[in-house]
Amino acid sequence: MSTSSHMYPMSSGHDQHSYIHNSSYQKAAISSAVEKTRRCIFEKLDLQLSSDFGTFRIADFGCSIGPNTFHVAQSIIDTVKSKRLEESTENSLVPLEFQVFFNDQPTNDFNTLFRTQPLSPEREYFSVGVPGSFYGRVLPRNSIHIGHTSYTTHWLSKVPEHVCDKKSMAWNKNYIQCNNLLEEVTKAYKVQFIEDMEVFLVARAEELVPGGLMIVIGECLHDGVSLYETWQGNVLDTIGDCLMDMAKSGITSEEKIDLFSLPVYFPQFSELKGEIEKNGSFTIELMETTSHPLEGKPLTNDFITSTFRAILTTIIEKHFGDGVVDELFCRLAKKLSNHPIDFEMRKKQVVYCIVLKRK
């Protein structure tokens, strides 16, 4: 898929309406990068795909339970097959077999994933579920030819230390996210992001074969732009305001809110590039940014509310307990209605498309 709810997948009772909105938003971004990644596979994949190649292995790290992950897998397979036919001088090629590893947290609903995957003969690959955090090795060394992940690496492996500690200079007072308004909070989040990216890149470098490609798609910030200046950051701050209103009404408590901060960090573009270069395990074959396909037009309040509900339901229920989500997002919808987002005035997050080749 991949989605920002990878680290905290939606609960089984989550309404399908919200999930569809979240999935469609991410699918639009993934689809916009498809042609770039296809071209990069054609030009940069140096593996000799001859008749005796055997099995070609693909991994989707942080897969979803929706259709996006299957679209990604099939797109990669189609591209590899086309490249093989174009480069082959043999009259008859032995059909290449494909194996796709779908990785996500153990809490992901792998049963739903496999029930919704295409059936044979439409499915041209053998599928495997791989539970575990991609912030670490989940597959054998030198086993993967192409890896893919999208909308995942802005989710940190954990909430940074001290941001929920009232005695710390990095206490994220009055906010539930790193919106870049508090310097010490931003530093704490950035440190955690750097640690996580290093672990992520080291693990992928071990799992990919030499010359294998790693495709990474997600959202980041332009250099010099802070999250609070974007419409997404504005929505998250508004969700925090709704929680505070609920505390005043006795629905939750300020103590719980003080101990709550989202493990999410959107890096600036130069930060992201710097961490990849510092790791040194890959050459950067493609690293571009573009506007999200839906960025140019105002989004409805229903779309925004449903999208954030799909992303955050599980983590909110885990911290605040059952019965909070419906009230929270009802309040969010009302606030957005009373105070509409001025999309033209808000600065933009951008979609990045990265293709790395293992040295």
pLDDT higher than threshold 90 for residue 174:
no
pLDDT value of position 297:
67
Q: Of the candidates 154, 192, 158, 160, which has an alpha carbon nearest to the alpha carbon of residue 62?
A: 154
Residue type, 1: M
Q: What pTM did the predictor assign?
A: 0.90
pLDDT higher than threshold 60 for residue 246:
yes
pLDDT higher than threshold 50 for residue 17:
no
pLDDT value of position 322:
85
Residue with the two structure tokens 């449903």? 306
Residue type, 143: S
DSSP per residue over 188-231, as a string?
Answer: HHHHHHHHHHHHHHHHHHHHEEEEEEEEEEEEEE-TT--GGGBH
Identify the band that residue 180 occupies on the pLDDT scale cut at 50, 70 and 90: very high
Identify the band that residue 5 occupies on the pLDDT scale cut at 50, 70 and 90: very low
- Quick one: 323 exposed, middle or buried, by C-beta within 10 A (0-12, 13-18, 19+)? exposed
Alpha-carbon gap, residue 359 to 357, rounded angstroms: 6
What mean pLDDT comes out for the span 53-59? Answer: 95
The H-assigned helical ranges of the chain are 16-44, 68-87, 110-115, 183-207, 231-248, 254-258, 269-279, 301-320, 325-338
pLDDT value of position 87:
85
* Polymer length in residues for the chain: 359
* 214 strand-pairing partners: 147, 356
Of the two residues 8 and 280, the one the predictor is more confident about is 280
Alpha-carbon gap, residue 81 to 269, rounded angstroms: 33
> pLDDT (tens digit, 9 = 90+) per residue, 296-335?
667 899 999 999 999 999 999 999 998 899 999 999 999 9
Q: What is the DSSP pairing of strand 349-358 with strand 208-221?
A: antiparallel
| Cβ atoms of 96 and 84 closer than 8 Å | yes
What mean pLDDT comes out for the span 120-145? Answer: 94
> Which domains are delineated in the chain?
19-358 (3.40.50.150)
In the chain, % of residues over pLDDT 70: 90
